[in-house]
Amino acid sequence: MSTPLDAAVVVVTFNHATTIAATLRALLALDPPPRELVVIDNASRDATPAIIKQEFPDVRLIETRANLGFAGGCNLGARVTEAASIVLANPDLMPRPDWLRHLIEPLQSLEHTGIVGGKLLYPGSQRLQHAGGLLQLPLGLGQHRGSNQPDHGQYDIIEAVDYVTGAAFATTRALWDKLDGLDERFYPAYYEEVDFCTRARQQGYTVVYTPLAVAEHVESVSLGQTSTRYLHLFHLNRLRYLFKHFNNPWLMRTWLPAELGYVRAVASDNEVAALQAVYLTWQSVFCGYEKQPSISDLDVFPDMTADGGETELQWVERQLRSKATVEPQRLTSRWPLIAKLRNGLLRLASADYIRGLVQAQNDTNQAVLEAIQALQRQRRAADAAVLAQGMLLAKALHDQQE
């Protein structure tokens, strides 16, 4: 085994029993290895700590009494280590043996480089997951370059990017200390690495992507990316990032029109519902009703009337669905032979004519149903627009009083 690199690899776990063993085996097989490897377990409710203790007794494990969030766990890992470089590795990461060497090298060889990320692939494939990140403003949405593309070398040069994912991330301890680590207000996860990279770039450092540091990454083991919980947390911290780095005039004149356009034209129904809850949560914070924004699984924006019944549009949609398709009725008779003869004569005489009428009616019914659904979506988007504008107004009033 080669001489260890002066790097501390920090792994933060929370209910990762299905992936942690494979990840630790891959990290222990790194060549050269890191000087330090520490796992911070954020009060997992599954067998994660037991697996580490039983299968990897030499790995340093620190168990917290509460979930510190990703940022809090990383900050704790940084505090209990001493190496010159700090490396974050997700507990569902499978790095290649030379991953660490290539991840650290640009920190030492490229002037003003403060943060380095590598190429992530989906497990067992050559399909890209992440080749550096671009921040799409004014919405503040992150774009992972190459996402879901076959890897045929299109991102095989070392270059500057807006951010790199915290799933596989290296920085110097000097910069980590200068920026006071990750901002733990991005709880429990999402946008803490975007914020860290933004603050580094504001200090004159470059965020670099290197294609040489390759790893496979399961991605989103804890939360599915279409789940209500994920959408709540993602957008809650997306807005936290925007509120932290941009002023109120920019938010009102630039972000708000773009956000409303996204809600109307791009966001799924589940995402619109999540955004409604997020806007209302931040509004509550700015009005002083709660100190920190939090969303529980019970915070669902009601899509019903005040007494819990259906809205008019929902009633119309239900009626249309029950009658959306019409079919020609067969003729009947007390004598089966007569009925069969009459239906046969009807098909011969009018089948082509009737078929066209039936299809035209079905097409009309479907068009009306789609129009009702579009009106319902438009209503939900309008509700979200009111909440978003109310949120910004509350923020402006709150900031004036600070």
Cis peptide before 249 (omega within 30 of 0): no
β-strands 159-160, 113-121: how paired? unpaired
The CA distances from residue 231 to 40, 128, 213, 271, 356, in Å, are: 25, 23, 30, 6, 45
Domain count, the chain: 2
Alpha helices in 251-335 (DSSP H): 256-265, 269-286, 312-322
Conformation bin of residue 277: beta by default, left when phi > 0, alpha when psi is -120 to 50: alpha
Residues 128 and 168 reside in one and the same domain: yes
Residues 156 and 237 reside in one and the same domain: no
Amino acid 188: pLDDT: 92
Residues 253 and 391 reside in one and the same domain: yes
Task: For the chain, give the percent of residues with pLDDT over 90.
Answer: 70
- 3-state SS, residue 116: strand
Residues 181 and 255 reside in one and the same domain: no
Domain's final residue, options 217, 248, 272: 217
- CATH number of the domain that 72 lies in? 3.90.550.60
Amino acid 222: pLDDT: 47
Residues 177 and 264 reside in one and the same domain: no
Distance CA 5, CA 81 (A): 14
Amino acid at 64: T
Task: Provide block-wise average pLDDT over 10 residues at a time, the chain (402 residues).
Answer: 93 96 98 98 96 97 96 98 98 97 96 97 96 98 96 97 97 98 96 98 98 90 66 95 97 97 91 92 90 63 55 65 67 69 63 66 75 73 91 94 82
Amino acid 212: pLDDT: 98
Domain's final residue, options 165, 192, 217: 217
Residues 57 and 164 reside in one and the same domain: yes
* Residue 394 neighbours by CB distance under 10 Å: 18
Condensed to tens digits (0 to 9), the pLDDT of residues 218-227 reads 975 445 556 7
Amino acid 1: pLDDT: 64
Residues 68 and 144 reside in one and the same domain: yes
Residue-wise DSSP of 165-229: -TTEEEEEHHHHHHTTSS-TTS-SSSSHHHHHHHHHHHTT-EEEEEEEEEEEE---SSS-TTSHH
Residues 25 and 145 reside in one and the same domain: yes
Domain's final residue, options 217, 249, 275: 217
Range of the domain at 306: 224-402
Residues 186 and 265 reside in one and the same domain: no
HSE (side-chain half, CA atoms, 13 Å) at 198: 18
Residues 114 and 20 reside in one and the same domain: yes
Residues 306 and 393 reside in one and the same domain: yes
From 200, 183, 1, select the one nearest 113 (Cα to Cα): 200
